[in-house]
A and B are shown apart, each in its own frame.
Chain A
Amino acid sequence: MKKLIVSPAPHLHGKESTKSLMRDVIIALAPSLLVSVYYFGFSAVKLALVGVATAVAVEYVIQKYIVKSKITVNDYSAALTGLLLSLNLPPNSPWWIMFIGSVVAIGIAKMTFGGVGQNLFNPALVGRVFLLVSFPVIMTDYSIPTSWFREGIDAGSGATALSIVKEGLARGLTMDQIFDANNFSYSQMLFSKIGGSVGEVSALALILGFIYLLIRRVIRPHIPVAIIGTVLVFSGVFWLINPESYADPLFNVLTGGILIGSIFMATDYVTSPMSKKGMVLYGIGIGVITMLIRYWGAYPEGISFAILIMNATVPLINMYMKPAKFGKEVKHG
């Protein structure tokens, strides 16, 4: 008689793995990547390739030669970090910017904390903020590179819609004047952005990715909904009081990385809270800090900083925002 396996229940296991989950996030980013390739051509391809290759290579080298631990690059989490970072750079960024960003993201923000699951801060965002602080000129040059598919496009001012608005308001213009002068329109924002990072070209593509993640149950809607809701309410109040000098809520949501940040960055498993209550609080925190930075801070956007700041509060949120326990009270006796 052969030996039977004797191990404790459960005897069945779900099919999900870190790898399958990360793969799903990468799939969810595909529409945005495709749109960006359409608009920015080789630049977008180049950034994505350099980003992914560097992230994977850095993780591999560190695990193999420095910490001598198990190699985990095949869980796709490093690749995802590289891809996310590439989508968060200005389309005209040189390849070495991408390279440095990936090295910082994986080498510093992820591996020094002990690898996947251990880091406090979102690696891709650490990479991005590092670049923003170290190379402010390159990181705010949003001029549009030439594409294979599109010729003779209006190369634009090289600034994002948010920074145009911020400057315009500083010069004493009203919102209407700024919109007219720059030909802003919402259909443009939905399908093709006026200026912004690689992955932000199309709000629609990002939302498509969001829906995919929800259907596949990779993420919960709580964090993105809380962030977007907060931004809408916060900017809505100011806009209602003074529409002359504050952009409307929709504009605020569709620009400055709110979508890519809330759908793909803030929902990063490792650096976001565990309970649904905690997720909502975290999302509201990100929304409020983003708007504070936008209206009164030095940077026109702000969600990257907001997420990093809230990352730091996650251990505390997890300690105090526990999931609802069964049997705490008799429900409706």
Chain B
Amino acid sequence: MSKTFSIGGIHPHDNKISINAAIENFPVMERAYISMSQHLGAPAEPVVAKGDKVKTGQLIAKANGFISANVHSSVSGTVNSIEMLPDLSGNLVQHIVINVEGDEWEESIDRSSEINRKIVHSPKEIIDKIAECGIVGLGGAAFPTHIKLSPPPGKKADYLLVNGAECEPYLTSDYRIMLENTEEILIGVKLMMLALGVKKSYIGIEENKPKAIKRMKEIASKGYPEIKIVSLKKRYPQGGEKQLIDAIVGRQVPSMGLPIDVGVVVQNVGTALAVYEAVQKNKPLFEGVVTVTGKCMPEQRNFRMRVGTTFESMIFAVGGFPKDAEKLVSGGPMMGKAVSRIEAASVKSTSALLLLTLEETKRGEEANCIRCAKCVDACPMGLEPYLLNRLSRANRVEDLEANMVHDCIECGSCLYVCPSDIPLLDTIRLSKAKVLKIIRSRPKK
């Protein structure tokens, strides 16, 4: 029996058209644009200067403050400049621009494809290694992994949940690594379990990926008995952190709470692979698998790609910009970000580049709410989007808080289902930010 979360959810067509494309290495570009803000928290601080020679995997920027992460060069060459450049949404962010010369890796990195099963590090060493290698959560928020693996005093984790749901339509990068790097992921999970001191871990995979479930189970049964593979119903947003915990261990994270409040830490399969590479192979996080897809594209492929690759070069690698493509999305179609400039570059957590035609992405004209309650039925947090929208438009902040607008996980299910095409999430997102600000400014009890 597949498990699932208890409230709401929708069933968008999964469109996993790149599912059978094996991972290929993306050619190293001529110039890499490496952002200092690839993670949640403070930007990293550059430790190289213009003109410096760098190697692939060399530390080029240091974590700055408690919530931050190291950044490593994804290429070898000369630092061309350190400057403010627009990121994919057009916000100015400090970047280190490197002119590529060859591809010379740091000698400390183990580049062999042999699987290193032998765990020699202590929990503390594992966490330090993860921090050193700049690992961040690859499931979306890019929260520095070493912090998530160090629960605050007084809180203890019972379970490590690993997200292999990949519930967003189109995305297949997690699927491909689950097939191609199965054992590495399991070792990564084991390392994180050791770091956390938990005895049990579950990897949740949606049932529309039977091959991944089968392969994971097969390998797990051969030496990783503490890791259970759980089949999940295909239902969006199955991979949402709170939904995943609810589905797998039946605990509900309270409003404004964190997974650790119910004794759970959630990581993503991509992060597990990165942890394996960091700890067992000494390899910092400077590349990852990116799905380049879209129905309008001549080909849909999965690439292992260096951080700092421009969206433009990705598009050209699969045959150029299709005439009818009108929207470029970084990430999945439900929660990904629309890219405003194709010159922007990928970051550690970039999972996909999706091109959509106007026909596919068009929102209908907004009409009156017919009170069909479809948004209410769809909301995985049990909110009433139609009401939150109305309250947002009237700017009734107190009522918004009473109706828990701050619990919204911005999954987009409400807007997806609304037959009247009311921009529910657009208004909810704004009022959520407002209410969160108010809540956080209150003195703590």
B439 to chain A, nearest CB (A): 15
Within 8 A of A (CB), among B205-260: 242, 246, 250-255, 257
Within 8 A of B (CB), among A261-275: 269-270, 272-275
How far, in angstroms, from A140 to B161 measured CA to CA in the complex? 66
A26 to chain B, nearest CB (A): 15
Residue contact B380 to A275, C-beta cutoff 8 Å: no
B221 to chain A, nearest CB (A): 27
B390 to chain A, nearest CB (A): 11
Residue contact B255 to A17, C-beta cutoff 8 Å: no
Mark each residue of chain B from 370 to 393: 1 if its CB lies under 8 Å from any CB of chain A, else 0: 111110110111111011000000
Of B251, B364, B372, which contacts A330 at CB under 8 A?
Answer: B251
**Given A322-B384, A327-B255: A10 and B334 interface contact (C-beta under 8 Å):** yes
Residue contact B257 to A275, C-beta cutoff 8 Å: no
Residue contact B417 to A21, C-beta cutoff 8 Å: no
Of B255, B336, B342, which contacts A11 at CB under 8 A?
Answer: B336
**Given A330-B262, A333-B251: A10 and B373 interface contact (C-beta under 8 Å):** no
Chain A residues with CB under 8 Å of B251's CB are: 330-333
B337 within 8 A of A: yes
**Given A269-B370, A326-B381, A329-B252: A11 and B386 interface contact (C-beta under 8 Å):** no
A134 within 8 A of B: no
**Given A12-B334, A13-B363: A327 and B254 interface contact (C-beta under 8 Å):** yes
A8 within 8 A of B: yes
Residue contact B257 to A327, C-beta cutoff 8 Å: yes
A1 within 8 A of B: yes
**Given A10-B333, A14-B12, A17-B364: A269 and B371 interface contact (C-beta under 8 Å):** yes
How far, in angstroms, from A225 to B169 measured CA to CA in the complex? 35
Of listed A11, A269, A331, A333, residue having the most chain B CB within 10 A: A11
Residue contact A8 to B426, C-beta cutoff 8 Å: yes
B5 to chain A, nearest CB (A): 8
Within 8 A of A (CB), among B336-381: 336-342, 354, 356, 358, 360-364, 367-374, 376-377, 379-381
Of A116, A220, A275, A331, which contacts B370 at CB under 8 A?
Answer: A116
Of listed B169, B384, B419, residue having the most chain A CB within 10 A: B419
How far, in angstroms, from A13 to B424 measured CA to CA in the complex? 12
Chain A residues with CB under 8 Å of B384's CB are: 274-275, 322-323
B61 to chain A, nearest CB (A): 28
What residue in chain B is nearest A21 (Cβ atoms)? B419
**Given A11-B361, A326-B381, A331-B251: A6 and B386 interface contact (C-beta under 8 Å):** no
B416 within 8 A of A: yes
B329 within 8 A of A: yes
Count of A-B contacts with CB under 8 A? 170
Chain B residues with CB under 8 Å of A115's CB are: 368
How far, in angstroms, from A4 to B88 measured CA to CA in the complex? 12
Of A11, A117, A220, which contacts B371 at CB under 8 A?
Answer: A117
**Given A14-B10, A326-B242, A327-B242: A274 and B371 interface contact (C-beta under 8 Å):** yes
Residue contact B407 to A116, C-beta cutoff 8 Å: no
What residue in chain A is nearest B420 (Cβ atoms)? A18
Chain B residues with CB under 8 Å of A333's CB are: 250-251, 262
How far, in angstroms, from A195 to B23 measured CA to CA in the complex? 70
Of B242, B367, B376, which contacts A18 at CB under 8 A?
Answer: B367
Residue contact B327 to A4, C-beta cutoff 8 Å: yes
Residue contact A274 to B376, C-beta cutoff 8 Å: yes
**Given A325-B382, A330-B252: A12 and B360 interface contact (C-beta under 8 Å):** yes
A180 within 8 A of B: no
**Given A14-B416, A117-B369: A9 and B252 interface contact (C-beta under 8 Å):** no
A97 to chain B, nearest CB (A): 28
A5 within 8 A of B: yes
Of B7, B339, B358, B425, which contacts A10 at CB under 8 A?
Answer: B425
How far, in angstroms, from A273 to B372 measured CA to CA in the complex? 9
A242 within 8 A of B: no
How far, in angstroms, from A9 to B354 measured CA to CA in the complex? 13
Mark each residue of chain B from 415 to 445: 1 if its CB lies under 8 Å from any CB of chain A, else 0: 1111111000110010000000000000000
Residue contact B7 to A11, C-beta cutoff 8 Å: no
Residue contact A323 to B382, C-beta cutoff 8 Å: yes
Residue contact B340 to A6, C-beta cutoff 8 Å: yes
A171 within 8 A of B: no
Residue contact A17 to B419, C-beta cutoff 8 Å: yes
Chain B residues with CB under 8 Å of A10's CB are: 333-335, 412, 415-416, 425
Of B363, B382, B417, which contacts A324 at CB under 8 A?
Answer: B382
Mark each residue of chain A from 264 to 292: 1 if its CB lies under 8 Å from any CB of chain B, else 0: 00000110111100000000000000000
Top 6 nearest A-B pairs (CB, nearest first) are A10-B412, A117-B368, A325-B382, A269-B372, A274-B373, A11-B333
Q: List 24 A–B pairs whose Cβ atoms lie within 8 Å, in order of A's numbering.
A: A8-B338, A8-B426, A9-B335, A9-B338, A9-B412, A11-B334, A13-B363, A14-B10, A14-B12, A16-B419, A17-B421, A21-B372, A115-B368, A117-B368, A269-B371, A275-B373, A323-B383, A326-B382, A327-B253, A327-B257, A331-B246, A331-B250, A331-B252, A332-B250
